[in-house]
Amino acid sequence: MSGNCNPIGIFDSGAGGLTVLSELVKVMPYEKYIYFADSANCPYGSKPAEEIINLSDKITRFLITKGCKVIVVACNTATAAAIDYLRNSYSIPFIGMEPAIKPASQNTKTKSIGVLATAGTFKGRLYIETSRKYAADVNVCYQVGEGLVELVESGKADSPEAEQLLHRYIDPMVDCNIDHLVLGCTHYPFLKPVLERMLPNHVTIVDPAPAVALQTKRIAENNGLLCNQNLVDSTSIDFYSSSNTEVLKLLVEMNIRPQYRIEDLYFNNVKL
């Protein structure tokens, strides 16, 4: 195991990437992490690709100045728009998100799956190529989750407003006889409590975050970038936000700190 204890960088349009960070800490508890929430520009879902590339590039440069050895683009929309540009522009490894259509398509028994994602994700190369490759013989009921990111960012993931909006999006999928629901945005796992109440028992919710965390570990290991656990005592995470950090702090205290041995949490505000 390497002695490279430089941090792993993670960024998202807001707090959604915390669902990925949580899985990263689970599989790599001895790493340092830097999380950047671009809350000032959230949501990314309906922004033009050029704007998302520009924002992603600025965040990447910031994370590199902080010494990040690997960067996880913990945002489906940013992955769809910017991952190719980032990989072509920088020498460090990048790991991106894509809707988990492959496992859903391979495991469906009803031959019908649902995908809830942003408009930007549905337009991305990864989504289109994965759908063509793995879901050609499957009925895919897809829905743009407009308004869901904003509810999560305002601390209303488990609220009557969220439930009402989700019913509008999910009920037609249930009518299409789906047995898997793919969450195509890193904010959406925060909506799991509501989704689990709404969905029939036979519908499996598919969250790609655990697979992304394992892929990050594999890439770090293959590149000799894992930190030697003998060099550190616990996980440390620095959080940066381009806007208000209050909801970010709340979600971290609820979802990150209680699950893991994390001694140090730092919150910082920075303008891109």
Place of tokens 């925060």: 190
pLDDT tens for 144-189 read 999 999 999 888 999 999 999 999 999 999 999 999 999 999 999 9
Read off the pLDDT band of 1 (50, 70, 90).
very low
Across 240-266, b (16+ Cβ under 10 Å) vs e yields bbbbebebbeebbeebbeeeeebeeee
Measured distance CA(192)–CA(18) in Å, rounded: 14
pLDDT in tens, 21-77: 999 999 998 899 999 999 999 999 889 999 999 999 999 999 999 999 999 999 999
Q: How far apart are CA 181 and CA 170, in angstroms?
A: 9
pLDDT of residue 178: 97
- Concerning whether 75 is annotated as a catalytic residue, the answer is yes
Residue in 5, 42, 68, 75 annotated catalytic: 75
Mean pLDDT in residue range 219-245: 83
Name the catalytic one among 5, 68, 141, 185: 185
Mean of pLDDT values over 197-207? 96
pLDDT in tens, 99-157: 899 999 999 999 999 999 988 889 888 888 889 998 989 999 999 999 999 999 888 99
185 catalytic per annotation: yes
| Contact criterion met (CB below 8 Å) for 152 and 15 | yes
